[in-house]
């Protein structure tokens, strides 16, 4: 049934957006005895919410309340909160002003989890934010905690909604990936360990400049109690600025903390970006009291998340790597860095392109010397082909499947064919997962 709490009993909440987290929110609130008004523009989502609450009415004692209605159009006075999906742009959507005029806070499902915490069995929370690397680091920390035999749940911006998962027994650790959007909707999440990986310009359509985006990340640490711990990778200026602010004790880490020889023994954590991810995960594990031997075992046994430097196949001595999640230059650069020349021979075949977020690949440029040949695809293909031709051989492949076939024809044993597009996927694919799946299918079709 997921998390329910007496803290919500008898209260009134409006819920806007009924995708996975919104549906889990409705079930949590209704199952806890709250009065819920919910809405989604999609009829099938509204029907799913009604069905879920009808099932709840069989499982719980007492009345279960759900009314369908658009929170942006009803009178919100007297409500205890409006729970919105992180995808709702608060700087543009009318719900923000409508709720403000009614004196009702606009929150997210993570804030509901924070409110419910005192009624759950004693536990700790690790919250992870940053522009790039959140999902890998969240999954890695979760894996190390599991390796230590500690009960744990992973949620937030990854996997299943945290409210939809069963509460942990006493002594458990919740590991939450937190986007800036989720932090914006959270007022009282006091993480025992809060993590910052890095901050580079992103999502600026939702903020008043880069400073607004940085301020959003900083709020995760402002919510911490003085006796908790902040783990911060201080490899960019905004992160160092946050590390210097007063608050919970800071543990500062960097990719340089990781011995490359030791890192070579962690198959799914190659490259400088994963050195940073590992340095952070090690610091978090120490903060949680996990011993060195267990941490090392977790680092060695960790398996990549799909679409994040995922080893898809090795064929004829050539490794195929799916890094479709790399949707900007900052996230592609570390992937290029992970495969330097061997004995002076460039071995990287780079598939790049899609729907461009910028008109350059400047963040990737330091690693162009690792690339034997680039294969450009999608809407940005011609522009990137022109940009790259002075630095490497380029094949303007247009289609992903063609790029895979062409790379396979010229790659030699010991080479790597890397899909790391540095672009959004929406010109040719539904999302980055569909793009990564298409890459894996094209690789599987090779003989």
Determine whether 157 is an active site residue: yes
Q: Which of 203, 286, 297, 357 is catalytic?
A: 203
Element (H, E) at 39: strand 35-39
Other beta carbons within 10 Å of 65 = 15
Strand ranges of the sheet holding 106-107, from the earlier edge strand across to the other edge: 65-68, 35-39, 12-16, 81-84, 106-107
Cα–Cα distances in angstroms (integers) from residue 13 to residues 168, 200, 208, in the given order: 25, 35, 29
157 and 186 Cβ atoms separated by less than 8 Å: no
Element (H, E) at 36: strand 35-39
Q: What CA–CA distance (Å, rounded) separates 12 from 445?
A: 54
If you ran DSSP here, which 8-state letter would residue 228 be given? Answer: S
Q: Which of 132, 157, 198, 277 is catalytic?
A: 157
Quote the longest CA-to-CA distance of the chain: 72
Determine whether 134 is an active site residue: yes
Among residues 297, 290, 291, 293, which one has the least CA distance to residue 266? Answer: 297
109 and 26 Cβ atoms separated by less than 8 Å: no
If you ran DSSP here, which 8-state letter would residue 355 be given? Answer: B
Q: Which of 98, 123, 132, 134 is catalytic?
A: 134
Give catalytic residue positions. 134, 157, 203
């Amino acid at each position: 049934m997921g998390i329910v709490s007496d803290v919500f009993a008898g209260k009134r909440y409006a819920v806007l957006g009924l995708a996975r987290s919104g549906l889990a929110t409705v079930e949590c609130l209704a199952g806890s005895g709250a009065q819920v008004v919910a809405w989604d523009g999609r009829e099938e989502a509204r029907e799913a919410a009604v069905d879920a609450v009808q099932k709840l009415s069989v499982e719980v004692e007492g009345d279960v309340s759900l009314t369908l209605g658009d929170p942006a159009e009803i009178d919100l006075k007297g409500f205890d909160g409006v729970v919105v999906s992180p995808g709702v742009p608060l700087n543009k959507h009318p719900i923000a002003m409508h709720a403000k005029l009614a004196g009702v806070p606009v929150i997210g499902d993570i804030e509901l989890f924070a409110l419910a915490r005192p009624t759950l069995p004693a536990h700790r929370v690790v919250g992870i934010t940053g522009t790039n690397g959140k999902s890998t680091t969240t999954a890695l920390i979760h894996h190390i905690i599991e390796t230590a035999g500690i009960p744990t749940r992973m949620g937030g911006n990854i996997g299943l909604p945290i409210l939809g998962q069963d509460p942990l027994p006493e002594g458990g650790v919740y590991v939450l990936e937190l986007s800036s959007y989720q932090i914006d909707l959270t007022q009282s999440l006091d993480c025992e360990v809060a993590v910052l990986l890095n901050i580079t310009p992103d999502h600026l359509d939702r903020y008043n400049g880069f400073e607004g985006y940085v301020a959003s990340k900083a709020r995760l640490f402002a919510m911490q109690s003085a006796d908790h711990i902040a783990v911060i990778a201080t490899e960019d200026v905004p992160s160092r600025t946050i590390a210097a602010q007063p608050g919970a004790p800071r543990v500062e880490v960097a990719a340089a903390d990781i011995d490359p020889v030791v890192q070579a023994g962690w198959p799914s954590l190659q490259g400088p970006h994963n050195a940073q991810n590992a340095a952070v995960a090690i610091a978090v594990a120490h903060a949680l009291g996990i011993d060195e031997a267990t941490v090392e075992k977790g680092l060695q046994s960790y398996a990549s998340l799909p679409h994040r430097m995922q080893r898809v196949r090795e064929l004829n001595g050539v490794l195929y790597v799916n890094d479709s999640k790399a949707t900007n230059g900052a996230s592609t650069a570390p992937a290029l860095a992970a495969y330097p020349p061997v004995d002076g021979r460039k071995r990287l075949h780079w598939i790049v392109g899609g729907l461009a977020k910028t008109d350059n690949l400047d963040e990737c440029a330091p690693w162009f010397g690792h690339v034997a040949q680039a294969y450009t695809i999608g809407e940005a293909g011609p522009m990137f082909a022109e940009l790259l031709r002075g630095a490497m051989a380029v094949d303007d492949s247009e289609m992903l499947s063609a790029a895979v076939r062409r790379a396979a024809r010229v790659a030699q044993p010991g080479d790597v064919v890397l899909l790391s597009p540095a672009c959004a996927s929406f010109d040719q694919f539904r999302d980055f997962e569909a793009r990564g799946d298409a890459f894996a299918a094209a690789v599987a079709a090779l003989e």
